[in-house]
Amino acid sequence: MSIYTCPHCGKKSFNPVSKAFAGQLNSKGKVCMECGRRCVNGKGATIFNAVYTIIVFALIVIIYLNAPKTADTQYDWIDKYELFINAGLILSYAIVPKLVNAFFFRLEPAIRSEN
């Protein structure tokens, strides 16, 4: 069974792009092209996203707290790149979960009501 298979009708009606934008368990999901019912990325993807969110924000906080205002510490390099690293982290936060949704974890039926 493919990860692009609709959990309602069993047809392979999703592709990496549509799956990437199907959202998580708590979202409304994306309508299956074959049967018209809503599908979302399942528990695995939802847990990954939650963990990834925590890691990204933890790293931003850690970098912020460790970015030295004085020279000659082992973290000196962070000061120069802090903005760059944080921007990269935020960018990865926007992209990585989408990539993971696109290529990993199965679809599940949307549990949220459709209205």
Q: 88 is written with which tokens?
A: 């990269």
Least distance in angstroms from the C-beta of 34 to Zn ion: 4
Least distance in angstroms from the C-beta of 29 to Zn ion: 11
11, 59, 82 from 65: Cα distances, Å: 50, 10, 11
Q: From the list 4, 18, 21, 34, which residue makes contact with Zn ion (rule: CB under 5 A)?
A: 34
Stretch that binds Zn ion, among 28-36, 55-63, 70-78, 94-102 (CB under 5 A): 28-36
Q: From the list 3, 20, 22, 32, which residue makes contact with Zn ion (rule: CB under 5 A)?
A: 32
Q: Is 82 in the site for Zn ion (CB under 5 A)?
A: no
Q: Nearest-CA neighbor of 40 among 31, 48, 49?
A: 31
Q: Is 35 in the site for Zn ion (CB under 5 A)?
A: yes
63, 73, 102, 104 from 42: Cα distances, Å: 32, 44, 12, 10
List of residues contacting Zn ion (CB under 5 A): 6, 8-9, 32, 34-35
